[in-house]
Structure 1
Amino acid sequence: MQIPEIPNLIYYAIPFFLITVIIEVILTVKVKLEDYEFKDAGTSITMGLGNVAIGIITKGIVLAVFIFVYEYRVFTISFAWYSWAILLFAEDFVYYWNHRIAHESRLFWASHVVHHSSKKYNLSTALRQTWTGGFYTFIFWIPLILIGFHPIMVLTQMSISLLYQYWIHTELIKKMPNWFEAIFNTPSHHRVHHATNPQYLDRNHAGIFIIWDRLFGTFEPEVEKPRYGLVTNLETHNPVKVAFTEWYYLLTDFISSKTSILNKFKYLIKPPGWKHDNTGVLSKDLRKEWEQKN
């Protein structure tokens, strides 16, 4: 099978990211919104550049693992257009579950929390990416390799998904046409995902297609104005603290908790906020309280 050369799309998109952030800043000033705080945006851009730099290492690791796994594939799927069409949906399905589990398991939340740590919602927020997730979250995509999609195809589609999700991090676009809102992830849907309003917590995990949230019961429409950030915010613009604070808290809970080994490991697999003394998961408690009231 002839393998085409496919460039790293994220590297080529960096100038586009920076230009569109500048355009959004100008438009935001013109309509007098309060979407931008320059220290916050600077942190987001720094996190994004760090992610790209660390990605030089992690992408090599991921590619090596994928190539190894590919030797044990069940089928060999070609690079034909219909294979890419199938992969578009298959990869997005995998992304949905990866993203959902990142909110439901603290081990994966420790890296994903970075993306939710801004109290602002704009294009620069899309660039606020993890420095650690690339080392281990790729395991969710291994089944696609085992099925028979070539590693280059999977990595390319992962990049396409990430590029798609860039434009939905804005408050300048209120709603897309109804048919588009019904099928695709949009700024409105993703604003819900980034919000800390009780009814919005852990909702709308979509990458490209919102159909997965509708199908698996995690969809929530945007009604009241979202409040962004974390249930308990970090209150820092230091990129190193943003990248590693949750890892520090996770390891502290794991090491210092006076409980059984089983409960210690539950700190890794249970949702963020879980405690072995049953004082339980804050975000889910907030949502449950809201649902009981409504």
Structure 2
Amino acid sequence: MDVSLLISHPEYLLLALAPLFVICMGLEWYWGNQRQRLPSSARYESKEVLCNFALAGMHQLSDLLTGLLISQLYLSLFAWRVFEIEMNVLSFIALVIAQDFCYYWFHRASHRVRWMWAAHVVHHSSENMNFSTAFRQSVMYPLAGMWVFWLPLVMIGFDPHWVVFVVLLNLGLQFFVHTQAIKRLGPLEWIFNTPSHHRVHHGRNPQYIDKNYAGVLIIWDKLFGSFEQEQQPVEYGITQPINSFNPLVVTFNEWRAMYRETLAPGLSFRQRCGLLFAPPKTPPNK
């Protein structure tokens, strides 16, 4: 596919990668379901896979519906950019690293701010971990404010089309860390996010909660104190399970709970703000 076409229409990137995603899922399904060489939590269950694909479709639809508005905002801010950055190999590498840094803080905020967790919890609600889990995304990310975290890149002077392309490239690369088929990757574990590191991130074991926010580079977690090595077997999912394969229930469960709690009678304004923006609750035994 023409690179210039991908830059002008970055939404095509994930479509271009789709055949590779399908091949990886097919191999993992064969290794886990047919050969039974993977843990039961890695196997493909039809109800969950259908739910994951439905959530992915809903997520893509929301991106298309809100993309025009957000792209216009990015372009308007780009007119006020601080630097004139010409895209070449070095500036592309700089953009990849800068976007991954911004992604780390988006991801960390998505666990520590309940408003954002209400969207992100969709991705964590599965009690299984396989490549199809990467498709488990939320239609509510635009409302939660994911796009805000890329604004600094545009205001610095990176072309909005390149910014969106790198955001989607980062997301595409993260597909490959959603597996139990790969154990450790040697020295790569020191710098990059790997399946081992990301399995920790999806764990509800007490020592694994809110760890390893990395997108592509694990160095951010090591720098900012959120790194945890995979040691004990991972118990996947969230501390308050949703127990549904209905994509609408999975999508809006936390939003509904947050809405009810925030509008409960007798609360002060500060308490209501806390229910919206403080860290999400974790049961005491977790």
Please, what TM-score do these two structures have when normalized by structure 1? 0.90
Match of 1:145 among 154, 157, 164: 154
Q: Distance in 2 between matches of 1:286 and 1:79?
A: 50
User: Across the two proteins, how many residue pairs are aligned to each other?
Assistant: 275
Partner of 1:199: helix, strand, or coil? coil
Alpha-carbon offset, residue 255 of structure 1: 1.1
- Whether the aligned pair in 2 keeps the contact of 1:51 and 1:131 (CA below 8 Å) is yes
Match of 1:26 among 8, 23, 30: 30
Q: Distance in 2 between matches of 1:93 and 1:129?
A: 21
Q: Distance in 1 between matches of 2:193 and 2:170?
A: 11
The residue aligned with 1:15 is 19
Q: Distance in 2 between matches of 1:77 and 1:60?
A: 23
Q: Distance in 1 between matches of 2:154 and 2:285?
A: 38
- Quick check: 1:108 aligned with 2:116? yes
Partner of 1:198: helix, strand, or coil? coil
Identity %: 36
The residue aligned with 2:130 is 122
- Whether the aligned pair in 2 keeps the contact of 1:95 and 1:207 (CA below 8 Å) is yes
The residue aligned with 2:277 is 269
Q: Distance in 2 between matches of 1:121 and 1:13?
A: 20
Q: Distance in 2 between matches of 1:216 and 1:244?
A: 31
Alpha-carbon offset, residue 257 of structure 1: 4.7
C-alpha distance 182-257 of structure 1, shift in aligned 2 (>3 A): farther
Aligned structure 1 segments of 4 or more residues deviating by more than 4 angstroms: none
* Amino acid of the structure 2 residue aligned with 1:54: S
- Whether the aligned pair in 2 keeps the contact of 1:257 and 1:264 (CA below 8 Å) is no
Q: Distance in 1 between matches of 2:285 and 2:217?
A: 27
- Quick check: 1:87 aligned with 2:92? no
Q: Distance in 2 between matches of 1:261 and 1:11?
A: 45
Q: Map of 1:1-294 to 2, 5 A cutoff?
A: 4-5=4-5, 6=7, 7=9, 8=11, 9-29=13-33, 30-33=35-38, 34=40, 35-36=42-43, 37-135=45-143, 136-177=145-186, 179-273=187-281, 282=282
C-alpha distance 158-174 of structure 1, shift in aligned 2 (>3 A): same
Partner of 1:146: helix, strand, or coil? helix
Aligned CA RMSD, in angstroms, stands at 1.6
Q: Distance in 2 between matches of 1:195 and 1:83?
A: 36
Partner of 1:200: helix, strand, or coil? coil
Please, what TM-score do these two structures have when normalized by structure 2? 0.92
Alpha-carbon offset, residue 254 of structure 1: 1.1
C-alpha distance 218-257 of structure 1, shift in aligned 2 (>3 A): farther
Unaligned runs of 5+ in 1: 274-281, 288-294
Unaligned runs of 5+ in 2: none
Q: Distance in 1 between matches of 2:68 and 2:60?
A: 12
Partner of 1:149: helix, strand, or coil? coil
What whole-Å deviation, never above 9, does each CA across 1:210-245 have from its counterpart, x for those lacking one? 000000000000000000011010000000001111
